[in-house]
Amino acid sequence: MRFPNVFVLLLIVFITCALLICINFFTIKILSANRAYVNGESHYSKGQKDAARHLITYLYTKDKKQWKLYLEELSVPQGDGLARKTLLKAGDNQIARQGFLNGRNHRDDLDDLVWLFVHFKEVPFLAKAIHEWEQGDKLIFELFVIGTEIDAKIKHSTLTPGQQRKFLEQISIISDRLTVNERNFSNTLGAGTRKIKDLLIIVNILFILIIVCSICLYYSIMVKRLLVSKKEIEVKNENLILVNHELDCFVYSASHDLRSPITSLKGLIKITQLEDSVVQIKDYLCLMEQSLAKQDQFISDIIDYSKNKRALIIMEPVSLRQLFEEAISQLMHIENASRIKFTKELLVDQIHSDSLRLKIIISNLLSNAIKYADANKQEMLISIKTSVNDGFNKIEVTDNGIGIKEEHKDTIFDMYFGTNKNKGSGLGLYIVKEAVENIKGNISVSSQTEIGSKFVVTIPNYYAT
């Protein structure tokens, strides 16, 4: 069972968190700059209104103190206007920052004011606010011109009551228009702030959903992996218990089967040493040979068992004809092997499989067929067939031997099972079954006592890992 790479999910969470932090940081910076501009507008508006008030007082009282106060208050919107013009032409510089300071903006807000203007002046809401700002600066300049005219007439004592009324009307009109501009400026920034806030909420919700979903998926994957690991461990424990049981049986039987021929040989040697009859000695020697042959077969089975357990599966072209011929020639030393008639019908020769496992399978099947041949029959036969059917290569080994009793059919593939321990170690068919399973095949048997047995091995045309 495959799972998505959890490191990808962790990377998504990390990147999302990083983006969320960056977005929130810059959003807060934008909102802080907006707040600074709104605060600056209040100073701009107050300065303009106070300047108009002092100018009107100066118009009627001709008090120089009022003129100085007028110039002082007018410098507030004029400073902001200088900052705007400088930022549009030259960008961030000391003149623009000084202009904002003259506009009574706090020194700690200068970075945010300049940063927002430089980087977002093309954004619709800020561009509209800057336009209103520009219109306000033009009105401030008109107010400055009127103030200059009033001051000149007062200094030259040429100011008439009619001119006073005219100047008062002009100042009032400019103040009203400035009030509209200032309101539009604040409303524009307020609308932009609300849009940013709404967008920030949506982005935060989206990113939080991504983080939560990624963490939930990560948790789900880890839980599933733990469950799969638990199942795998349980299966491995069951297999380990089975292997340990097989190992215990193997060690017990192997020690017994290894010692039995040696004990038999020792006894035969002692008896032979006491025997004077050449014929009897030959009989004893024949028994010794049989005991050694049994020992040799058992050791050969142990080697096959070890190879089947340990050797890697190597897929390669294999000739079934060659494996059968080699196996038959190597098994001719078995009793009655020379009397058996072998027939072959090899419709399939070259297949792609593991040669070691196939050699073990074929050798053990033929060895069993020879060992359990029925010597009482006039003709002993072993038939070998190969074919291909439904994507499987089929190997059939049929004999007319003594057959398998019905009660033994379910246990013939168990370790150390043998219908006749004198003829084999009991490992052969167990090794065959394991070898067949290792190459993803199947083995079946059909048998009748005194008629014979038929073993069928099916192997896929290709080996699927």
For residue 199, give the H/E element and its range. helix 161-274
Q: What percent of the chain has pLDDT over 90?
A: 42
Residue 457's H or E segment, with its range, is strand 452-460
Written as one string, the DSSP assignment of 31-100 is: HHHHHHHHHHHHHHHHHHHHHHHHHHHHHHH--HHHHHHHHHHHHHHHHHHHHHHHHHHH-S-HHHHHHH
Mean pLDDT, all residues of the chain: 85
**Neighbouring C-beta atoms of residue 287, cutoff 10 Å:** 16
Please state the domain extents for the chain.
6-221, 314-460
Identify which has the larger pLDDT, 192 or 137.
137
User: Lowest-pLDDT range, 14-18, 68-72, 243-247?
Assistant: 243-247
The reported pLDDT for the residue numbered 464 is 41
pLDDT band per the 50, 70, 90 thresholds, residue 310: low
- Name the band, by pLDDT with cuts 50, 70 and 90, for residue 325: very high
- Res 23 pLDDT > 50: yes
- What is residue 143's three-state secondary structure? helix
Query: Worst-scoring range by mean pLDDT, 69-73, 249-253, 267-271?
Result: 249-253
Under a CB-based contact definition with an 8 Å cutoff, are residues 457 and 394 in contact? yes
Q: Residue 427: pLDDT above 60?
A: yes
Lowest model confidence (mean pLDDT) among 171-175, 278-282, 377-381: 278-282
Inter-CA distances, 436 with 245, 362, 386, 393, 431, Å = 21, 11, 15, 12, 9
Distance CA 215, CA 219 (A): 6
> Which is higher by pLDDT, 10 or 359?
359
Across 149-153, 188-192, 246-250, 290-294, least confident range: 246-250
Most confident of 71-75, 290-294, 297-301, 425-429: 71-75
Q: pLDDT band at 332, cuts 50/70/90?
A: confident
Residue 88 has pLDDT above 80, yes or no: yes
**pLDDT score of 265:** 73
Answer left, alpha or beta for residue 383, where phi above 0 means left and psi between -120 and 50 means alpha.
beta
- One-letter amino acid of 445: V
Task: Give residue-wise pLDDT tens across range 93-141.
Answer: 999 999 999 999 999 999 999 999 999 899 898 899 999 999 999 999 9
The percentage of the chain sitting over the pLDDT mark of 70, rounded to a whole number, equals 87
Helices 110-120, 94-102: axis angle to 10 degrees equals 120
- Domain 314-460 of CATH type 3.30.565.10: yes
pLDDT of residue 72: 95
By the 10 Å C-beta count (0-12 exposed, 13-18 middle, 19+ buried), 239 is classed as: exposed
Of 103, 311, 77, 302, nearest to 178 by C-alpha is 77
Burial class (CB in 10 A: 0-12, 13-18, 19+), 265: middle
Confidence of residue 2 (pLDDT cuts 50, 70, 90): very low
Per-residue pLDDT averaged across 274-288, rounded? 78
At residue 178, what is the residue type?
L
Q: What is the pLDDT of residues 435-464, one digit of tens each?
A: 898 888 999 999 998 899 999 999 987 644
Nearest to 373 by CA among 418, 425, 338, 417: 338
pLDDT of residue 460: 87
